[in-house]
Amino acid sequence: MNAVSEAALTTAIHVNGQRLWDSLMEMAKIGATPKGGVCRLALTDLDKTGRDLIVQWAKEAGCTVSVDQMGNVFMRRAGRNNDLPPVMTGSHADSQPTGGRFDGIYGVLGGLEVIRSLNDHGIQTERPVETVIWTNEEGSRFAPAMVASGVFAGVFTLDYGLSRKDVDGKTIGEELRRIGYAGELPCGGRKIHAAFELHIEQGPILEAENKTIGVVTDAQGQRWYEVVLTGQEAHAGPTPMPRRRDALLGASRVVQLVNEIGLRHAPLACATVGMMQVHPNSRNVIPGRVFFTIDFRHPQDDVLAQMDAELREGIERIARQGKLEAQVEQIFYYAPVPFDKACVNSVRAAAQRFGYSNREIVSGAGHDACYLATVAPTSMVFVPCIDGISHNEVEDATIEWIEAGANVLLHAMLERANESG
pLDDT value, residue 6: 65
User: What is the reported pTM?
Assistant: 0.85
The reported pLDDT for the residue numbered 366 is: 84
- Say what the pLDDT of residue 255 is: 98
Fold of 221-334: Alpha-Beta Plaits (3.30.70)
Crossing angle of helices 172-179 and 45-60, in 10° steps, is: 60
Query: What pLDDT was estimated at residue 338?
Result: 93
**pLDDT on residue 3:** 73
The pLDDT-based confidence of 15 (bands split at 50, 70, 90) is very high
d(CA 291, CA 272): 14
Position 421 pLDDT exceeds 80:
no
pLDDT tens digits along 268-280:
899 999 999 999 9
Q: What is the mean pLDDT of residues 192-208?
A: 97
Hey, what CATH topology would domain 6-220+336-417 get?
A: Aminopeptidase (3.40.630)
- As beta bridge partners, residue 297 has 222, 270
- pLDDT for the residue 334: 82
- On the question of pLDDT at 216 being above 70, the answer is yes
Percent of the chain with pLDDT over 70: 99
For residue 359, the surrounding DSSP H or E stretch is strand 358-363
Question: Quick check: 17 pLDDT over 80?
Answer: yes
Whether residue 7 is predicted with pLDDT greater than 70 in this model: the reply is no
Q: Does residue 266 register a pLDDT over 70?
A: yes
3-state secondary structure of 168: coil
- What pLDDT score was predicted for residue 356? 98
Buried-state track 145-182, b at ≥16 Cβ within 10 A, e below 16: bbbbbbbbbebbebeebbebebeeeebbbebbeebebb
pLDDT of residue 420: 85
Where do you find CATH 3.40.630.10 in the chain?
6-220+336-417
Q: What is the pLDDT of residue 278?
A: 98
Instruction: Name the region of 90 (left: φ>0; alpha: ψ -120 to 50; beta: rest).
Output: left
Count of alpha carbons within 13 angstroms of residue 10, beta-carbon side: 3
pLDDT tens digits, one per residue of 116-140: 999 999 999 999 999 999 999 999 9
DSSP 140-151: SSSSSTTHHHHH
* pLDDT attached to residue 268: 87
pLDDT of residue 257: 98
Secondary structure class of 182 (helix, strand, coil): coil
Q: Please, which pLDDT band fits residue 390 given cuts at 50, 70 and 90?
A: very high
CA 46, CA 257: separation in Å to the nearest integer?
38
Q: Count of H helices and E strands in the chain? A: 12, 16
Give which of 391, 400, 341, 353 is closest to 98, Cα–Cα. 391
So what's the pLDDT on residue 335?
87
Q: Are 126 and 112 in contact (CB under 8 A)?
A: no
Q: Are strands 270-272 and 129-134 parallel, antiparallel or unpaired?
A: unpaired
Tens of pLDDT, residues 399-416: 999 999 999 999 999 999
Residue 355 has pLDDT above 90, yes or no: yes
CB under 8 Å, gap of 24 or more: what pairs does 31-35 form? 31/95, 33/98, 33/393, 34/393, 35/98, 35/393, 35/394
CA 90 to chain centre: 11
Distance CA 94, CA 135 (A): 7
Q: What is the mean pLDDT of the chain?
A: 96
Which ranges in the chain are annotated with CATH 3.30.70.360? 221-334
Q: What is the DSSP letter of 340?
A: P
Across 54-63, 85-94, 365-374, least confident range: 365-374
228-261 pLDDT, tens digit per residue, is: 999 999 999 999 999 999 999 999 999 999 999 9
How would you class 215 by CB atoms within 10 Å of its CB: exposed for 0-12, middle for 13-18, buried for 19 or more? buried
Q: Residues 311, 261: contact at Cβ < 8 Å?
A: yes
Average pLDDT for residues 74-101, to the nearest whole number? Answer: 97
Q: Is the pLDDT of residue 2 over 80?
A: no
Please give the pLDDT value at position 8.
Answer: 77
